[in-house]
Structure 1
């Protein structure tokens, strides 16, 4: 083998080694690329599902705000009305300052009774108004369709 053939064989061996190294890197890149594409496809599928859920939701923004705000306002106003009625009733039951000592002793019990009654009344109002709002929204959606 002469010097030229030896150099050519050496270059061929180096070229073969470099080609196989590149092929190994390429297969590694292909695997990474496949994983990245699969992850992007999963994200795309999730976004598509979320878009379909959003577009198939019959509630408008106004419906959602109405559904949230109306029962809260009814509960707040109802609580204030209950508090006013409670104060009127308590003032009629204990109109004289002669029984202030007895009122102080019963203060904790009356406070707990007021809190329980007020919470029950507020919960009842909120529950009824939530059901009423749902019926109103259902009627509005039926008209829209």
Structure 2
């Protein structure tokens, strides 16, 4: 029978990747206005910080040039797992709320103009777009090929 701590630690890299990937699902409406770009970059930075944390505590599932603190003990592994699960639950709650709001808006305005979403690839000004691509590139290098996006 395997060590129970190993099971927790083996699950942490994929849980971390899933949490970081959830940021890709955040959509910001066009009527968010000029704050859209700043909010998108704030999300990019938060996503990058979460992935950096995973590397620093040694639960990142890829080889990284960044130094790691080392493996977590059982108590810290459980805490990390609970924190990451909490982040996933928060994204699920936000997704449910978003769908409810979207449904309500569609009923109020069938043309859907208030539901138009920004596309970071086409709607960012050049300065913000460059920063967004740079942050996304760093994150892509840090992540492994396993992703919940591929499983969804």
With normalisation by structure 2, the TM-score equals 0.27
Structure number with greater Rg is 1
TM-score (ref. length: structure 1): 0.28
